[in-house]
Chain A
Amino acid sequence: MRRAAPLVAAALLAMALVGALALGPLRLPVGDVLGALGQLAGLSLQADPQALAVVGSLRLPRALLAALAGAVFGLAGAMTQGLFRNPLADPGVLGIAGGASLGAVSAIFFGVASLSVWALPATGFVGGLAAALLVSRIARSDGRTPVATLLLAGIAVNALAMSLTGILVYASDDRQLRDISLWLMGSVGGATPLRIWILVPFAALLLAGLPFFARGLDALMLGEREAVHLGIGIETLKAGVIGCVALAVGAVVSCVGPIGFVGLVVPHIARMILGPGHRLLLPVSALASAALLVAADTFARLAVAPAELPVGLVTAAIGAPFFAAMVARSKRRLAL
Chain B
Amino acid sequence: MISAVQVGLRVGSKGLLDDVNLEINAGTFLGLVGPNGAGKSTLLRLLAGEQRATRGAVSIAGRKLAQWSGAELARRRAVLPQQSAVAFEIAVRDVVELGRLPHESLVSRAQNAAAVARALQDADVAHLETRSYATLSGGEQQRVQLARVLAQIDGVPAPALLLDEPTASLDLSHQHRVLQTARRIAEAGAAVVAVLHDLFTASLYCDRIAVISKGRIVADATPTVALDEATVKSVFEMDSRWVEAGTRRALLAFKGDGSP
Contact = CB atoms under 8 A, between A and B. Distances in A.
Given A218-B101, A219-B98, A336-B135, A229 B78 contact: yes
Contacts of A86: 87
A226 B88 contact: no
Contact of B84 (A87, A226, A272): A226
Given A230-B102, A230-B152, A222 B86 contact: yes
B98 A218 contact: yes
Looking at chain B's contact residues, the main secondary structure is mixed
B98 A230 contact: yes
A277 B74 CA distance: 20
Interface size class of A (residues with CB under 8 A): 20 to 34
B5 to A, nearest CB: 22
Nearest to A231: B74
B48 A271 contact: no
Interface in B129-159: 132, 134-135, 148, 152
A221 B50 contact: no
Given A223-B85, A225-B50, A276-B89, A232 B98 contact: no
A277 B87 CA distance: 11
Interface in A317-336: 333-334, 336
B114 to A, nearest CB: 19
Nearest to B73: A231
Interface of A: 85-87, 215, 218-223, 225-226, 228-233, 271-272, 275-277, 333-334, 336
In the complex, the 5 A-B pairs of residues with the closest C-beta atoms, listed nearest first:
A231-B74, A85-B87, A276-B88, A231-B71, A229-B79
19 contacts: A85-B88, A87-B88, A218-B101, A221-B90, A222-B98, A225-B81, A228-B50, A229-B50, A229-B81, A230-B98, A230-B99, A230-B102, A233-B70, A271-B88, A275-B89, A275-B91, A276-B88, A333-B132, A334-B89
Given A87-B88, A275-B94, 19 more contacts: A218-B101, A221-B86, A223-B87, A225-B81, A228-B70, A230-B74, A230-B101, A230-B102, A231-B69, A231-B70, A231-B71, A231-B72, A231-B75, A231-B101, A233-B70, A275-B89, A275-B90, A277-B94, A336-B134
